[in-house]
Amino acid sequence: MGFPPTVSGPGALKIENSFLVPAPRDRVWRFIQSAEEVGACVPGCEHVDVVGEGKFKARVRVKVGPIKALFNIDIERTEEEPMESASYSTRGEEGGRASRLSARSRLTLRAAGEKETEVAYASEISIAGRLGRFGAGVMKKKADDLGGQFAEALRQRIADTPA
């Protein structure tokens, strides 16, 4: 019978998390300045282009069981305080299909000793169109999962990159 009903709406999806990266803050800061490096850590991200100062285009594939989507997204850095934090605004659309997403995200760095940095992120995502009809409960779990994968990939990638 059906599926969990529509409850996604503007601001319905909030994810936040923080994790430790085994590198000093200036290195983590340099790392997150690189769209290519960050893109490589985003699960399902197939492509990132720098299109201007603080402006990026990306293609991201997401999947929950049989539900699949490919989003073309535009990301713009809206605020930046070097070594401290950066805010982004994201807008995306499915090619030819009727879902749209928009998100506001903030990334914060805090030195945790000399060799470690705490990375915190918070995102508020709204999804409209066909994917907005999918149950928000599972969507949130999936978003948290993707956040966890992103954190793990970022940590791994920084650890694997020579200083």
CB of 148 to other proteins, least distance (A): 12
Asked if 133 is part of the footprint of other proteins (rule: CB under 8 A), the reply reads: yes
Among 24, 54, 135, 148, binds other proteins (CB under 8 A): 135
Q: Which amino acid is at 47?
A: H
DSSP letter (8 states) at residue 152 = H
Using an 8 Å Cβ cutoff, are 12 and 135 in contact? no
Binding mask 71-110 for other proteins (x = CB under 8 A): --------------------------xx------------
Among 137, 152, 156, 161, binds other proteins (CB under 8 A): 137
Using an 8 Å Cβ cutoff, are 50 and 38 in contact? no
Using an 8 Å Cβ cutoff, are 23 and 154 in contact? no
* CA–CA separation, 89 and 87 (whole Å): 7
Number of amino acids touching other proteins (CB under 8 A): 24
Q: Which residues are at the interface with other proteins (CB under 8 A)?
A: 1-5, 7, 64-68, 97-98, 130-131, 133-138, 140-142
